[in-house]
């Protein structure tokens, strides 16, 4: 194929440029071509220096330069104009083409006034170089686009957060040539950034406050950082290097933004021998939105999996907890009992029980209603511990008042171990009643619990307050024992505060006075009917209310 006149002329005047580049065959990146353009300009007679400018969106920078030149400032060139209007005879400035955003300008300086012949050769070089650089940059853009498409495919290949971060780091380190990398995720709730995995970091988890370190600064400010020597920057935290036995030199850190512009993470790359470039930053910045979308999907998937696992665990815990509670009240001479239990969550801290016991050679029935502070899994665990302790002690009851005292000491012993490990401790209130054979009297201890009521057959009400403070707060607490006689038709009503403190939309509690007042006109009915009527009224009262707790209601009627 014959050469074009322009290429023939360039081949005659600038053989080093054409022969060395093989530009039209696409073998060299645009940065290498820019350097060769500068060398080609300097090969002409009388030229002592050349500089190739690149202005992108109004910001000019030196792309390549060589020889003797004044300080590189953009003052002599206005981005957007094709040529400089300077009249200096020792300077030639020419545009090397432009597009909507980018302007390329070649600046050439001679030892003295540049001859017209050389200026004509510079015009020719500019025309040819403009085409060559445009082709090279398009090739680079296509290559970058292909890399982004390929990277996006990989990012969408998994929903596992750890695997996804590994893929992100493999893409970033391979594209940039970095030695190591870390993806930090932003935890706004705890004001931290944290890494799940770091390439080359043997999966160490790193947590840093948002107000510390380069990565924390990038997460706060949203601006990229590139450093040639990280230790020269006051924001750098060398503690991580010391902990991992690593030496950070070059560093590039970029924010990972969601489609809405929110910073969801930070990508930090370490150590590249020749330093991180604009091209590295541009590629990773272009990839940022895809990375953010993949991270958000993976985190949502992770949260969903964890939620499903927690729900399965709680369902199992509820099944186990329901096994702790009696299926139905036992038959006992002289009394009839009905009981209801409803946790506000999957598991709860309310507890009731019926334990046949023998005290001083006499058979009795121990009634228990207890309420562990709080609700949920932690309260349920304390409830299980109390239940196990009571069952262990029930066969050897010396006196009723010693039961809450023993449970108090055991809870405090466990609390000391929990506090030493940084865990929150729990306390509880409880009501214990030991019904004598025949159901005509009972002894009781009220350890800080909602006072149960004895509603007499004639409609009078007595509150059972004797006992002591709640369990699990202070050591060596002593409790008192109270007694109550029962006549046929008398009713004992015990509950947890989920009944008496149930609130309506205005924040008004149901209250124990309302509970007793409601039962009085119902006292001639069966315990089951009384229980159902109370629960229905509490539900009606609390519908649309602002607070709900675990609920136990126990109704015992003397026959």
| Cβ proximity of 250 and 228 under 8 Å | yes
Instruction: Say what the pTM is.
Output: 0.51
Q: Where in the chain is the domain with CATH 3.60.40.10?
A: 325-558
Beta bridge partners of 93: 107
Please say if the pLDDT value at position 132 is more than 80: no
Q: CA 29, CA 523: separation in Å to the nearest integer? A: 94
The C-alpha atoms of residue 338 and residue 525 are separated, in whole angstroms, by 12
- For 514, how many CA atoms within 13 A lie in the half-sphere containing its CB? 15
Average pLDDT over every residue of 549-555: 91
**Does the structural domain 5-140 have CATH classification 3.30.450.40?**
yes
What's residue 421's pLDDT? 46
Q: What angle do CA 31, 34, 38 make, to 5 degrees?
A: 145
Are the beta carbons of 21 and 36 closer than 8 angstroms? Answer: yes
420 pLDDT band (50/70/90 cuts)? Answer: very low
The H or E element spanning position 408 is: helix 402-420
In this prediction, residue 152 has a pLDDT band, given cuts at 50, 70 and 90, of low
Q: Assign residue 553 a region: left if phi > 0, alpha if psi is -120 to 50, beta otherwise?
A: beta
Q: Where in the chain is the domain with CATH 3.30.450.40?
A: 5-140, 156-302
Class of the CATH domain delimited by 325-558:
alpha beta
Predicted local confidence at residue 75, as pLDDT = 46
Which element (helix H / strand E) includes 52? strand 47-56
Which pLDDT value is given to residue 16?
47
Most confident segment among 263-277, 372-386, 485-499: 485-499
Homologous superfamily of 156-302:
GAF domain (3.30.450.40)
User: Among residues of the chain, what percentage have pLDDT more than 90?
Assistant: 32
Report how far apart, in Å, the C-alpha atoms of 422 and of each of 145, 396, 435 are: 51, 35, 41
Q: Which of 371, 443, 440, 435 is nearest to 402 (CA)?
A: 443
35: three-class secondary structure by DSSP: helix
pLDDT digits (tens, 9 = 90+) for 464-500: 999 999 998 999 899 999 999 999 999 999 999 999 9
pLDDT digits (tens, 9 = 90+) for 81-96: 434 555 788 999 888 8
């Amino acid at each position: 194929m014959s050469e074009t006149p322009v290429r023939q002329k360039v081949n005659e005047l600038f053989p080093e440029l054409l022969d060395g580049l093989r530009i039209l065959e696409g073998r060299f990146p645009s940065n290498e071509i820019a350097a060769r353009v500068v060398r080609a300009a300097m090969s002409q007679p009388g030229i002592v220096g050349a500089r190739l400018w690149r202005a992108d969106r109004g910001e000019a920078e030196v792309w390549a330069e060589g020889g003797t030149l004044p300080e590189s400032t953009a003052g002599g060139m206005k981005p957007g104009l094709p040529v400089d209007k300077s009249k200096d005879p020792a300077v030639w400035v020419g545009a090397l083409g432009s597009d909507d955003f980018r302007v390329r300008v070649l600046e050439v300086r001679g030892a003295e006034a540049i001859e017209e012949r050389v200026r004509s050769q510079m015009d020719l070089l500019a025309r040819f170089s403009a085409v060559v650089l445009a082709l090279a940059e398009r090739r680079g853009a296509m290559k970058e686009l292909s890399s982004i498409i390929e990277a996006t495919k990989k990012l969408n290949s998994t929903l596992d957060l750890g695997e996804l971060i590994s893929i992100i780091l493999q893409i970033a380190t391979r594209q940039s040539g970095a030695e190591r990398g870390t993806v930090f995720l932003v935890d706004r709730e705890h004001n931290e950034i944290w890494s799940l995995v770091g390439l080359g970091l043997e999966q160490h988890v790193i947590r840093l406050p948002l107000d510390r370190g380069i990565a924390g600064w990038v997460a706060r400010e949203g601006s990229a950082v590139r450093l040639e020597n990280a230790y020269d920057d006051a924001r750098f935290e060398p503690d991580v290097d010391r902990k991992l036995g690593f030496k950070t030199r070059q560093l590039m850190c970029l924010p990972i933004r969601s489609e809405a512009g929110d910073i969801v993470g930070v990508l930090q790359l370490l150590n590249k021998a020749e330093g991180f470039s604009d091209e590295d930053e541009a590629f990773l910045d272009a990839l940022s939105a895809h990375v953010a979308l993949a991270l958000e999907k993976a985190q949502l998937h992770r949260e969903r999996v964890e939620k499903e696992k927690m729900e399965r665990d709680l369902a199992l815990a509820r099944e186990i907890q329901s096994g702790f509670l009696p299926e139905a009240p036992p038959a006992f001479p002289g009394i009839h009992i009905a009981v209801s239990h409803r946790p506000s969550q999957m598991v709860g801290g309310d507890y009731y029980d019926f334990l046949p016991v023998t005290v001083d050679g006499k058979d009795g029935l121990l009634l228990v209603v207890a309420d562990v502070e709080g609700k949920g899994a932690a309260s349920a665990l304390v409830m299980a511990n109390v239940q196990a302790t009571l069952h262990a002690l029930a066969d050897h009851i010396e006196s009723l008042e010693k039961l809450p005292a023993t449970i108090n000491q055991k809870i405090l012993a466990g609390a000391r171990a929990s506090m030493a490990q940084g865990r929150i401790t729990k306390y509880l209130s409880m009501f214990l009643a030991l019904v004598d054979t025949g159901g005509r009297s009972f002894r009781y201890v009220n350890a800080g619990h909602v006072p149960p009521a004895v509603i007499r057959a004639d409609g009078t009400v007595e509150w059972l307050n004797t006992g002591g403070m709640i369990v699990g707060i202070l050591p060596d607490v002593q409790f008192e024992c109270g007694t109550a006689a029962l006549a046929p038709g008398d009713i004992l009503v015990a509950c947890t505060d989920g009944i008496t403190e149930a609130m309506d939309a205005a924040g008004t509690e149901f209250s124990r006075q309302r509970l007793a007042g409601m039962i009085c006109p119902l006292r001639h009915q069966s315990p089951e009917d009384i229980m159902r009527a109370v629960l229905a009224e509490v539900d009606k009262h609390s519908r649309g209310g602002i607070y709900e707790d675990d609920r136990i209601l126990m109704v015992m009627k003397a026959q």
